């Protein structure tokens, strides 16, 4: 199996993305995870550009890296400096990394307009800088900036600059699609020519401005590149860099290249999530391979097929990248969705003849605003109530909620409630931070002497979604309530044009679900105790 080396630039190029900011500690933590994952090169930053990157390299020197080679990034020397007097090159050496990623201008337009030097002078900048750093014992990864644009403008000059880097001693020539506008066919053709004419390893560094960075990276590998640069989750300037997550999965599972071990591949989703979390950026459910929706099935025909053979609607096994299959229950569901979801939730499927009836009710409820994908506890209650397995733990006789706002700015919320438990009416009242909190407190007070175990559960999240914006304050709303007891979390929902009624429905289901699951657990314990005695 041919080896493709992975070069991660999340800590440098990725940090240039909008809304992305890493502290030194963040960068060290991500680097440790990348090292553990098996990434070959980690570009830590540009030590000559800011104090934070310089501090990162200072602290990184004290780490013991097991699998990775740490890389410092910088540019060729300034036109008015020698390598020995150029501060950027000296900072690169001061970082004391085994490898240096050095970028130079490939496009004649950039040499003359951005640097203000002649094409020949630009070549000297590249050659002198590479030769000097190589003489200091470093591995030199030369990034040919704007290579594909430069090649399309003047292929001979683009090759002229590559030869300067190679003659200076570069270990890898990396072809950069810096503006991100190249197409896979162009990348493959041009990369193949470079590979055939240069006797050293060739790499690819693609940006995503045309939504083709991953495709361009894979095309370059097919053309002979054996070094791929990118970032975890595609972070980067403008539209981002090549996303190493799908690059790794495709190289390993589709193209037969060795880049990480099978064990590491199975941690791909965890790595992606960790970087999202550290960057304080929300994950993308639709992300290929690792997104929560990557192996989610909603259409009834799809689910029916997946139950027979997952290959019918899945291009790889979810477990291979650390993901898992999900089946969604919605108005698009069929009987297969309901059966699969029951199995997924650990429900006793048995001889469930009411599946079609449940499907029909789900379709009607979702038409009216319910959304069972977001509230699996409400789905489980719906199914088990149809099967007669959920007793009426309590029923509502009525409630009232008041919210007062005083002239001095203070507010006061109170709720009173009447519930029936075993033919006994319990009437209580309670205050709260808001009307829903007050209603929650009143219900707890009413149920406590009948079900003292409810002290173990608490509400941890409350969300309201307006369903038909055009109706203003009279719009239908969906309320989602997330609750927790120990490590167990569950979500219930209610829908109504009256926000308090929707809140009550979600609240009542939350308590009912907890009591039902508690009852199930106690019944299982009794069965196991009898079996043990027998």
Nearest residue to 241 (alpha-carbon basis) of 268, 274, 275: 275
Instruction: Report whether pLDDT(523) > 70.
Output: no
Q: What is the mean pLDDT of residues 7-20?
A: 95
For the CA atoms of 34, 35, 38, 40, the dihedral, rounded to the nearest 10 degrees, stands at 100
Calculate the dihedral angle through the C-alpha atoms of 148, 152, 156, 162, rounding to the nearest 10 degrees: -10
Per-residue pLDDT at 349: 57
487-505: average pLDDT: 92
Alpha-carbon distance 125 to 9, whole Å? Answer: 24
What's the CATH superfamily of 395-531?
Alpha-isopropylmalate synthase LeuA, regulatory domain (3.30.160.270)
* Structural domain boundaries in the chain: 5-279, 296-367, 395-531
Mean pLDDT of 377-383: 86
Q: What is the pLDDT of residues 20-34, one digit of tens each?
A: 999 999 999 999 999
- Tell whether the torsion through CA atoms of 402, 403, 405 and 409 is positive or negative: positive
Does this model's pTM top 0.95? My answer is no
Count H helices and E strands in the chain, helices first. Answer: 18, 16
Helix intervals (H) in 169-243: 184-197, 213-222
Contacts of 67 (CB under 8 A, 6+ apart): 35, 36, 38, 39, 40
To which H or E segment does residue 160 belong?
Answer: helix 155-168
Determine the average pLDDT of the residues in 82-98: 96
Q: Is the pLDDT of residue 397 over 80?
A: yes
Whole-angstrom Cα distance, residue 361 to residue 352? 15
- 525, pLDDT greater than 60: no
pLDDT of residue 370: 76
pLDDT band at 88 (very low <50, low <70, confident <90, very high): very high
**pLDDT surpassing 60 at residue 352:** no
- On the question of pLDDT at 303 being above 70, the answer is no
Report pLDDT for 331. Answer: 46
Report the range of poorest mean pLDDT among 216-225, 272-281, 343-352, 391-400: 343-352
Mean pLDDT value of segment 382-390: 83
> For residue 47, what pLDDT is reported?
92
Contact 173, 144 (CB under 8 A): yes
- Of the candidates 516, 520, 519, 511, the residue with the CA atom closest to the CA atom of residue 444: 511
Interhelix angle 213-222/244-253, rounded to 10 degrees, is: 40
Mean pLDDT across the stretch 415-437? 94
Which pLDDT belongs to residue 343?
65
* Residue 398 near residue 504, CB atoms below 8 Å: no
Using alpha carbons, select from 303, 365, 309 the residue that is nearest to residue 334: 303
Residue 300 has pLDDT above 70, yes or no: no
Mean pLDDT of 254-264: 95
Q: Within 10 A of 85 (CB to CB), how many other CB atoms are there?
A: 11
Residues 357, 358, 360: CA angle, nearest 5 degrees: 65
SS3 content of the chain, % helix, strand, coil (to 5): 45, 20, 35
Strands of the sheet containing 488-496, edge to edge, are: 458-466, 477-485, 488-496
Quick check: 243 pLDDT over 70? yes
- Lowest mean pLDDT, pick from 138-147, 194-203, 313-322, 358-367: 358-367
What pLDDT is recorded for position 412? Answer: 87
81 has a pLDDT exceeding 60: yes
For 532, the token pair is 């043990």
Instruction: Count CA atoms closer than 13 A to 187's CA, side-chain side.
Output: 31
Q: Is 259 helix (H, G, I), strand (E, B) or coil?
A: coil
In whole angstroms, what is the distance from residue 482 CA to residue 479 CA? 10
C-beta separation of 40 from 251 below 8 A: no
- Rounded alpha-carbon distances, angstroms, from residue 258 to 2, 182, 469: 6, 26, 52
Residue 262, token pair as written in the block: 């099978």
Q: Which two tokens mark 439?
A: 């209603």
Q: What is the pLDDT of residues 320-347, one digit of tens each?
A: 999 987 665 554 455 566 666 666 656 6
Distance CA 57, CA 72 (A): 8
CA distance to 82, 113, 115, 135, 139, per residue, from 78 (Å): 8, 14, 9, 19, 21
Q: Which CATH class is domain 5-279?
A: alpha beta
């Amino acid at each position: 199996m041919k080896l493709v080396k992975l070069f991660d630039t999340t800590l440098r190029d990725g940090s240039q993305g909008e809304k992305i900011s890493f502290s030194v500690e963040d960068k060290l933590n991500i680097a440790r995870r990348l090292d553990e994952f098996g990434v070959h090169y980690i570009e830590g930053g540009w030590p000559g550009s800011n104090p934070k990157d310089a501090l990162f390299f200072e602290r990184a020197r004290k780490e013991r890296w097991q699998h990775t080679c740490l890389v410092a990034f910088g540019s060729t020397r300034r036109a008015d400096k020698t390598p020995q007097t150029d501060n950027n090159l000296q900072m690169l050496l001061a970082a004391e990394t085994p490898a240096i990623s050095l970028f130079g201008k490939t496009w004649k337009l950039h040499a003359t307009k951005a640097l203000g030097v002649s094409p020949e002078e630009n070549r000297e900048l590249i050659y002198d800088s590479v030769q000097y750093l190589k003489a200091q014992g470093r591995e030199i990864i030369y990034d040919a900036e704007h290579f594909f644009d430069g090649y399309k403008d003047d292929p001979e000059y683009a090759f002229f600059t590559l030869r300067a880097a190679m003659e200076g001693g570069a270990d890898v020539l990396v072809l950069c699609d810096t503006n991100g506008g190249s197409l896979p066919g162009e990348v493959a053709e041009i990369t193949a020519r470079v590979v055939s004419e240069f006797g050293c390893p060739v790499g690819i560094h693609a940006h995503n401005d045309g939504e083709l960075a991953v495709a361009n990276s894979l095309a370059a590998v097919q053309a002979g590149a054996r070094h791929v640069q990118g970032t975890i989750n595609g972070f980067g300037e403008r539209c981002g860099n090549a996303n190493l997550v799908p690059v790794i999965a495709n190289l390993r599972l589709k193209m037969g290249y060795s880049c990480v071990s099978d064990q590491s591949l199975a941690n791909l989703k965890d790595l992606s999530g960790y970087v999202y979390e550290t960057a304080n950026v929300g994950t993308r459910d639709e992300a290929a391979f690792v997104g929560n929706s990557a192996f989610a099935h909603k259409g009834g025909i799809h689910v029916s097929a997946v139950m027979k053979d997952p290959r019918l609607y899945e291009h790889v096994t979810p477990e291979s990248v650390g993901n898992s299959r999900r089946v969604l229950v919605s108005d698009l569901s069929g009987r297969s969705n309901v059966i699969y979801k029951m199995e997924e939730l650990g429900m006793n499927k048995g001889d469930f003849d009411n599946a079609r009836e449940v499907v029909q009710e789900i379709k009607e409820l979702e038409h009216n605003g319910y959304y069972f994908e977001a509230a699996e506890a409400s789905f489980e209650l719906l199914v088990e109530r149809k099967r007669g397995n959920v007793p009426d733990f309590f029923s509502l006789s009525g409630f009232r909620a008041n919210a007062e706002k005083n002239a001095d700015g203070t507010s006061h919320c109170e709720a009173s409630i009447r519930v029936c438990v075993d033919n006994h009416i319990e009437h209580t009242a309670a205050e709260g931070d808001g009307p829903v909190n007050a209603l929650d407190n009143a219900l707890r007070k009413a149920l406590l002497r009948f079900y003292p175990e409810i002290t173990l559960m608490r509400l941890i999240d409350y969300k309201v979604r307006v369903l038909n914006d055009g109706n203003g304050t009279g719009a239908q709303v969906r309320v989602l309530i997330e609750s927790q007891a120990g490590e167990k979390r569950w979500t219930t929902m209610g829908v109504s044009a009256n926000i308090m009624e929707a809140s009550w429905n979600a609240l009542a289901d939350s308590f009912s679900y907890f009591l039902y699951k508690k009852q199930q657990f106690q019944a299982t314990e009794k069965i196991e105790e009898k079996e043990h005695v027998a």
